Amino acid sequence: MNLKNLHIRTMLGVTMDIRSIVYQILFAVFFAIGSASFVWSQNGAGSAIALSDVKTLEELAQVGGQLFEGKGQCTQCHSLQGASSDKGPTLDGVGAKLTREFLHESLVKPDAYVYLDFTRVPPAPYAAPMPPTSLAEGEILAVIAYLQQSSGQPVSIELSELK
């Protein structure tokens, strides 16, 4: 089978080369294999916090920050301050601009929307599509809490949702 000329038309009408889809799947598999399953953060006293031991929304946001920078590998393409990269947009203030539901969908179904880089003329999609996440549901909620808190917003996640 010659993959060179094989293209797939997505639900959004975007034509993708089959090789880019295969690369995304391989990336997700290798990332999932190499990721640690135990999530922790450091509280102010320096002791470890497991996601299952989170008692406050502040601790939840701390764990989310560790996931954002660590297992989630969000900082490979995104920043919370400063300019966008060619791989992905800055997420500065995203917790105040976007709803919790939209953030969740963006993490669970990263190909649901085509994100455009409006710093380019004409606006164009980012060079690297967002890969599927290897984060579990509770970890995704922790990242959302982190994005909300870092945007100066109250955390909308309830601790009971982590169970």
Q: Is residue 55 part of a domain?
A: yes
Q: Is residue 30 part of a domain?
A: no
Contact of 49 with 59, CB cutoff 8 Å: yes
pLDDT per residue as tens digits for the range 3-32: 455 555 554 555 555 655 555 665 554 444
What pLDDT is stored for residue 19 in this prediction? 59
Q: Characterise 135 by phi-psi region: left (phi > 0), alpha (psi -120 to 50), beta (else).
A: beta
**Domain ranges, residue 67:** 37-157
How far out from the chain centre does Cα 44 lie? 25
Q: Is residue 4 part of a domain?
A: no
**Angle, helix 137-150 to helix 57-69, in steps of 10 degrees:** 100
Q: Is residue 27 part of a domain?
A: no
Whichever domain contains 42, its CATH number is 1.10.760.10
Taking the model in full, what pTM does it have? 0.67
- How far, in Å, CA of 125 to CA of 121, rounded? 11
- How far, in Å, CA of 24 to CA of 153, rounded? 33
pLDDT per residue as tens digits for the range 118-143: 777 888 887 777 888 889 999 999 99
If one counts every other C-beta atom within 10 angstroms of the C-beta of residue 30, the result is 11
Domain count, the chain: 1
Which residues, listed in sequence order, are joined to residue 48 by a DSSP beta bridge? Answer: 42
Q: Is residue 20 part of a domain?
A: no
Q: Is residue 111 part of a domain?
A: yes
